[in-house]
Amino acid sequence: KQEVTQIPAALSVPEGENLVLNCSFTDSAIYNLQWFRQDPGKGLTSLLLIQSSQREQTSGRLNASLDKSSGRSTLYIAASQPGDSATYLCAAPDTGGFKTIFGAGTRLFVKA
């Protein structure tokens, strides 16, 4: 059964800092992995989707990498801004690939 773990649980950084959010998963037989952003009281915003054949995906200041062999993914945020403050969720398919399992999230606060 797939388990998704995210560290750190919370992170506070000054504006402009580059940062890395970590996600690990127990079942490496995944066909993709997704990173989401969730603002307080809001729904999910899909940030990056990495297919199993890819090693990384980039969107603006965001870069997500995927290492299936080690069961890890990282989300790199460059030059962080206060507007980046949110909870970032990592999600991977369950064993069998039918359901999506979410990590507990990393709550990011970027100080101006």
Footprint of other proteins (CB under 8 A): 31-32, 34, 36, 41-44, 46, 49, 51, 89, 97-105
Residue 98 vs 112, nearer CB to other proteins: 98
Q: Which is nearer to other proteins, 21 or 89 (CB)?
A: 89
Work out how close the CB of 12 gets to other proteins at its nearest, in angstroms, rounded to a whole number: 16
Look-up of token digits 């890819």: 54
Q: At its nearest, how many Å lie between other proteins and the CB of residue 62? A: 16
Cβ closest to other proteins, residue 76 vs residue 102: 102
Three-state DSSP at 92 gives strand
How many of the other CB atoms lie within 10 Å of CB of 22?
15
- Answer whether 36's CB lies under 8 Å from 46's CB: yes
- First and final C-alpha spacing in the chain: 41
